[in-house]
Chains A and B, each alone.
Chain A
């Protein structure tokens, strides 16, 4: 129910556990609500004397005790569900996730033979393996929420938070910033791709690699390096090594552009570069004046960075 950004369609252990608590709680509380309305209706229909019946004290006392019991039960159930969710697993995959206005920086650490690398706005996770997400924020508070996999966790400047999760169903899920973070809070999404371990390993190796040699020969690369693009963006293998914008080394391998704003197509790339402020008002990417030829070359080159 609800698709690729829904707490009702779990694809991870935490989300499953939470949903397993959610439905019984909804049923129980819904029943209590109905009961209150039924008593109200019955009371209104009833023809009786001018006094409140004596037994009312007993009934109210019993109902209050019932409330207390329900609450004790729900508190205990909550606690029991929280414990495994919060618990750290053995040898998890560690990924650092940093929130910025208005995109996500994703850092995979070196692990065994896999090299470290930085990417943006897309997270790939191996199926079934516990993941430890280390969450931080660059500027203001953001909140990482991929409802199909787990509950949300805030990213707070000056504090380090951790979210443990394990994906159990392969697929592509959408995460979206859940803490109001300014102008483009609405356009701060991230794709989470859950794939089998071997696919994940392949993806990881490809992402860690710099731009392939044939791409370096392209005209678009020259435009990229000559224009101020490199002041903010990194493309590994070129001279562009800026750190304030997303790493673009394998830009075209991602599903979306500008933190979930647009699908990753050549047309979207051209539109984005030509006028980022109309598509995502207030974002930190300036309009860089380019000739039509330059724009075409640059777009073609970026679209080749797979």
Chain B
């Protein structure tokens, strides 16, 4: 290897050979475990998250089976309570948040034109911690130790007095796992977006998806500490006898709800805001025009982020808080319809007369409009205090948030998978199968969940493991259960399509959709170094404006992993920094962290003794090795 070798004057083949030498992961199992390539980690993250989606779907089907008729005996209350707790916990913490961050972790570096994510080792670490947290939760469930206190784990039901055993501790500690990984990815995304954008990609030329992920990362950074605080206090109450939530000793039961929902409501936007980015990306490409009202879209994203912290109390309208305060939260909760509406209007304007190409991603966007807007309307209803006193904790709310989360986030996500699948795998997903799956999911979803609005109005509360025949709920429940089979069939078709297409799909080429953003400027799948030469950006749609040749920069070294640091506002080049090599230490650190966290469910001393291996692995991780990457 030649020291300080540069990429100038080399032809593409020689350049790629040189880049391959420094950027490729080593082969074999060890090489795979040590990889810090954001695409490798991102792929693992996405596949794992979808595996959890599948498992969570199985739980959902079990619940629909149980509720299909009154007094069914498929499950007793103990099992059912574990199942619905697992379903919610799994879908929120192991599927929705991680999959959105994973899409960001995979796509953001490509879309901003850099060679790897910032802090790639932290990225690898976060994946392992996430995986181990998920395995902990599911392992416990298989051992009949799954949490049974709801995904919201309200005290005192989850407290030391009423939740004996380790079930609630496993829930609380699983939170710590997923929060650590979520916060890590959030930091990586913020720094990648701030400092590693391609030259010329000023803030107003960032793709909307990148804006959405940046905003999401900030919501995570401010919201997640609340749930860490809450779950830590819960573990302390349970393990060492503190009294945070014990009213007999000056604690307070509602304190838990305040902390939980201060996180829990922004959580919805952590899931939804990336979906806004996905919808924008798909609409822009398939309409062959930039999304109308770029500035309005960005301001709406920021507005949603700010407002999302001002409406947690609308989850607590029936707890007896002062009326005037509640009215304030009614106003703030409804106010979030303004930025959301603004985004809808901008998309409608973009679609107006554009004759978009109706491929599968676009079909999911249409399904998103139908479903999400309806969920938004019921959202306005539950924001109203008097209406909410009837709707809260009834099946109406179950319908509402599935409309928002599945309609508002999962439909765009499925569209995004179809859209970026060729980039990730180099192959197209099969279009006909995709259309059938989309149709089944859309129809199955609406048929399964719409009747739940009515069930809620007819007085059916949430989280009941059964109901009695004298209540008029059996018909609609059966209908919902049968419809859910259609929904599940659609999802299975989607999974099958992805599985088959990854092997046998038609080769995609670099840019099968004619996309405007930088990820389409490199090969599919992208090489480990993402871009052979760093692109230079002159507009918000660089590929559309490049016409026959993409403007690029050169001058980076080839003897080490080097990438470009640019300024925060205008992305003017500032420095050539190195990107860390592969390392097994993040995996070791994740193992040490997991051991400490799981051990601490049983004794507080685990924090003392368990932190020693954590410290050792962290030192191993950061200790310089005298590689060219450490040069400066």
Asked if chains A and B come from one complex, the reply is yes
Q: List 6 A-B contacts (CB under 8 A).
A: A7-B390, A8-B457, A43-B354, A52-B289, A158-B248, A180-B393
A1 to B459, CA, bound (A): 11
Judge whether A2 and B351 touch: CB under 8 Å: no
- Of B253, B330, B350, B459, which one neighbours A159 at CB under 8 angstroms? B253
Is A171 among interface residues, defined by CB-CB distance under 8 A?
no
> Which one of B195-203, B377-385, B546-554, B611-619 contacts A?
B377-385
> Chain B contacts of A8 at CB under 8 A?
457-458
* Given A154-B320, A178-B393, A178-B394: A85 and B386 interface contact (C-beta under 8 Å): yes
> Chain A contacts of B76 at CB under 8 A?
281
Judge whether B393 and A64 touch: CB under 8 Å: no
Residues of B in contact, count (CB < 8 Å): 80
- Of A33, A60, A143, which one neighbours B318 at CB under 8 angstroms? A143
A185 to B465, CA, bound (A): 8
**Which chain A residues numbered 147 to 174 have a C-beta less than 8 Å away from chain B?**
147, 150-154, 156-159, 161-162, 174
* Given A6-B458, A21-B386, A176-B459: A156 and B319 interface contact (C-beta under 8 Å): yes
* Given A63-B345, A180-B463, A186-B77: A40 and B366 interface contact (C-beta under 8 Å): yes
> Chain A contacts of B350 at CB under 8 A?
52
Judge whether B338 and A64 touch: CB under 8 Å: yes
- Total number of A-B contacts with CB less than 8 angstroms? 246
> Chain A contacts of B625 at CB under 8 A?
none
Q: Give chain B's interface secondary structure class.
A: helix
Is A91 among interface residues, defined by CB-CB distance under 8 A?
no
From residue A245, how far is it (CB to closest CB) to chain B in Å? 18
- Of A74, A156, A161, which one neighbours B380 at CB under 8 angstroms? A74
Judge whether B319 and A40 touch: CB under 8 Å: no
Is B555 among interface residues, defined by CB-CB distance under 8 A?
no
> Chain B contacts of A74 at CB under 8 A?
334, 380, 384
Judge whether B323 and A281 touch: CB under 8 Å: no
* Given A29-B380, A44-B351, A151-B389: A158 and B247 interface contact (C-beta under 8 Å): yes
Is B244 among interface residues, defined by CB-CB distance under 8 A?
no
What residue in chain A is nearest B154 (Cβ atoms)? A141
Judge whether A152 and B390 touch: CB under 8 Å: yes
> Chain B contacts of A153 at CB under 8 A?
318, 320, 389
From residue B584, how far is it (CB to closest CB) to chain A in Å? 44
> Chain B contacts of A15 at CB under 8 A?
390
**Which chain B residues numbered 333 to 361 have a C-beta less than 8 Å away from chain A?**
334-335, 337-338, 341-342, 344-346, 348-356
What residue in chain A is nearest B391 (Cβ atoms)? A7
Judge whether A185 and B464 touch: CB under 8 Å: yes
Q: A residues touching B (Cβ–Cβ < 8 Å)? A: 1-3, 5-8, 15, 17-18, 21-22, 25-26, 29-30, 32-33, 36-37, 39-40, 43-44, 46-53, 56-57, 59-60, 63-64, 67-68, 71, 74-75, 77-79, 81-83, 85-86, 101, 139-141, 143, 145, 147, 150-154, 156-159, 161-162, 174, 176-186, 260-261, 281-282
Judge whether A40 and B334 touch: CB under 8 Å: no
Judge whether A22 and B387 touch: CB under 8 Å: yes
What residue in chain A is nearest B76 (Cβ atoms)? A281
Judge whether B377 and A29 touch: CB under 8 Å: yes
Judge whether B337 and A282 touch: CB under 8 Å: no
Judge whether A2 and B386 touch: CB under 8 Å: no
From residue B525, how far is it (CB to closest CB) to chain A in Å? 32
Judge whether B162 and A140 touch: CB under 8 Å: yes
Judge whether B386 and A81 touch: CB under 8 Å: yes
Contact digits for B469-490, partner A, Cβ 8 Å, 1 yes 0 no: 0011000000000000000000
Is B14 among interface residues, defined by CB-CB distance under 8 A?
no
Judge whether B390 and A56 touch: CB under 8 Å: no
From residue B263, how far is it (CB to closest CB) to chain A in Å? 19
Judge whether B156 and A49 touch: CB under 8 Å: no
- Of A29, A79, A184, which one neighbours B327 at CB under 8 angstroms? A79
- Of B150, B327, B354, B461, which one neighbours A82 at CB under 8 angstroms? B327
> Which one of B20-28, B367-375, B439-447 contacts A?
B367-375
> Chain B contacts of A139 at CB under 8 A?
156, 161-162
Judge whether B330 and A79 touch: CB under 8 Å: yes
> Chain B contacts of A2 at CB under 8 A?
454, 457-459, 472
